[in-house]
Amino acid sequence: MKSRNLVLELEREIGDVSRVAWVGSLDGSLAMSWEDFAMKFIGETYTPDVARDELPYDLVVVMDDESWFERVPWSVGWVHRYPPKKNWNAKKFDYVTIFSSPHVAMQYESLEALNEKSEVG
């Protein structure tokens, strides 16, 4: 895969960069404004299919709504994540592992799917 300009790719992915609150590490110990990041790293390139080898695993772009963009090891693109929010009508659940559930379950099930599938047999 061809190398991409990091800043230009993030601008394309984000759209309205005026909504970026800061760029830095996931734990917030390193941070700078979007403007500082873009000016400092405008010439930086990386190869998306090996990004996990080229970019720090904890690099995030945090938006003004507290959502963020990050790279994940199994993806060649940026993933937009949102902080979890509890629904007003959230239900309790009975199973938290595939092996404790009486339902037919597969690896990587969601919590909802694990608790609402048909019972085995």
User: What residues make up the domain containing 43?
Assistant: 4-81
Return the pLDDT at 67.
Answer: 96
pTM of the prediction? Answer: 0.76
Rounded CA gap, 82 and 102, in Å? 31
Same domain (yes/no): 61, 16: yes
**Residue bearing tokens 């830095």:** 24
Q: Would residue 15 be called left, alpha or beta, if left means φ above 0 and alpha means ψ between -120 and 50 degrees?
A: left
Same domain (yes/no): 67, 12: yes
Same domain (yes/no): 77, 92: no
**Residue bearing tokens 């945090």:** 62
**Residue bearing tokens 């941070």:** 31
Q: Which residue has the higher pLDDT, 30 or 71?
A: 30
Same domain (yes/no): 58, 29: yes
Same domain (yes/no): 13, 50: yes
**Residue bearing tokens 């390193």:** 30
Same domain (yes/no): 43, 14: yes
H or E stretch at 71: strand 68-71
Same domain (yes/no): 58, 114: no
Rounded CA gap, 121 and 104, in Å? 9
pLDDT tens for 12-60 read 999 999 999 999 999 999 999 999 999 999 999 988 776 566 788 899 9
**What total of structural domains would you count in the chain?**
2
